[in-house]
Amino acid sequence: MFRYMRRKIIIYLLTFVVAVTLDWIIPRLMPGNPIIGLISRLASMPQQVEELYAHLTKAFGMDQPLWKQYFMFWNALFNGDLGISITVYPKPVLDLIRQALPYDLMLTVPAILLSWIVGNKFGAFAARKKRLDNWVLPVWYVVTATPYLWLGILLSWALGVVLDIFPIAGAYSFSIRPSFSWEFILDYLHHWFLPFLSLFVVQLGGWAIGMRNMIIYELEADYSRYLETMGAPPRLIRRYAFKNALLPQVTGLAVQLGVIVTGALTTEIVFSYPGIGYLLNQAILQEDYFLIQGCFLFVILGVLIANFVIDIVYVFIDPRVRLSMGGDS
């Protein structure tokens, strides 16, 4: 078990180093000088240009040798210095991300967990029920093929505009300030529901299909057949099958994280929901490179942490990993 965890941790650390390195190297590999590009956009504010130029040259460390620039980049990172945003000048990038992060977590974590649980339950329920399965399976395929952002658009058009039940932009009404009052919490949930729903529904399809296929596979495994011939009740066999089918679904969660994060980013843009996705969109439209780089790092950090949590969960639910030392990554 410790070997398994150690291997995982080494991979995650390496991944983080690679991600930071990419974050540093890609802007330098690309054609053109980003500083001049940035400066030219602020030409209308001459008193700030000089200050900014000094800051950017220092931040990019253009006058230093490359290895020193790389070292400085890491140093700044450990001091929490991700640069200064151009969009919301002169706010530090870290502050902007810190403001956005809670909205992201409150939206994505419940959507991921709930859809995983409901999808698995339903997939297991529908498997091997011929009539239901024939109807439901194509629906799941269409649902899981839907781009998150389009479902978001559809929902906000149908439920938000045509029926006018839900608000379609922001995380809370303009008239309200964030506070711990019932009024705010209700308003927040009201805004939260549609983006949550679009994330929840698209993921649901994938989990249901995965679980259905796994259950069918498990019900044909030798142990199920054996139990069957022994006269065990079908409910018991299904329970064993479900337990075994759950393991690949946990791994699947780790594999799908990247796609889900992408979905969350685009969904936030549809609903102008003030999470990292919305921030990133603003940063890209304004060519705010520091902010883009900062968002990139936080997305990767989030995915790494989630992967790590899944690995720990896996140790607890899979006796083979818990007991044996081995296991490939």
Partner 1 sequence: MPEKKVEEKKERKKNELLYFAFRNVKLLIGFVILVFFLLVAIFGPMFVQYEPLDYAGPGYRSPSAEFWLGTTTFGQDVYAQFVYGLRSSFLVGLLGGGVATLVGLLVGFFAGYKGGWPDEVLMMITNIMMVIPTVALLIIIAAYLPYRGVVIQGIIIGLTAWPWTARAVRAQTFSLKQREFVSLARISGSRPLSIIIEEIAPNMLSYVFMVFILQFGGSILAAVALDFIGLGPTRGVSLGLMMQNAVLWNAIQLRMWWWIIPPGLAITLIVSALYFMNTGLDEVFNPKLREM
CB of 267 within 8 A of CB of 199? yes
Burial class from Cβ neighbours inside 10 Å (0-12, 13-18, 19+) for residue 145 reads exposed
Binding letters toward partner 1, positions 264-303, x by CB under 8 A? -xx--xx------x--xx--xx-x-x--xx-xx--xx--x
Residue type for 58, please?
A: K
Among 109, 117, 145, 313, binds partner 1 (CB under 8 A): 145
Candidate ranges 70-78, 90-98, 147-155, 311-319; the one touching partner 1 (CB under 8 A):
147-155
What tokens appear for 233 in the block? 């009740």
Q: Which of residues 12-31 bind partner 1 (CB under 8 A)?
A: 12, 14-15, 18-19, 22-23, 26-27, 29-31
Cα 302 from chain centroid (whole Å)? 7
Nearer Cβ to partner 1 (185/216): 216
Sorted by sequence, the CB contacts under 8 Å of residue 81 that are 6+ apart come out as: 92, 94
Query: In a 3-state reduction of DSSP, which class is residue 225?
Result: helix
135 binds partner 1, rule: CB under 8 A:
no
Nearer Cβ to partner 1 (187/268): 268
Candidate ranges 46-54, 111-119, 235-243, 253-261; the one touching partner 1 (CB under 8 A):
253-261
Query: In a 3-state reduction of DSSP, which class is residue 37?
Result: helix
Place of tokens 């209700």: 186
258 binds partner 1, rule: CB under 8 A:
yes
149 binds partner 1, rule: CB under 8 A:
yes
Q: How far apart are CA 300 and CA 280, in angstroms?
A: 14
Q: How far apart are CA 279 and CA 269, in angstroms?
A: 9
Binding residues for partner 1 (CB under 8 A): 11-12, 14-15, 18-19, 22-23, 26-27, 29-32, 34, 138, 141-142, 144-151, 153-154, 156-157, 160-162, 168, 255, 257-259, 261-263, 265-266, 269-270, 277, 280-281, 284-285, 287, 289, 292-293, 295-296, 299-300, 303-304, 307, 329
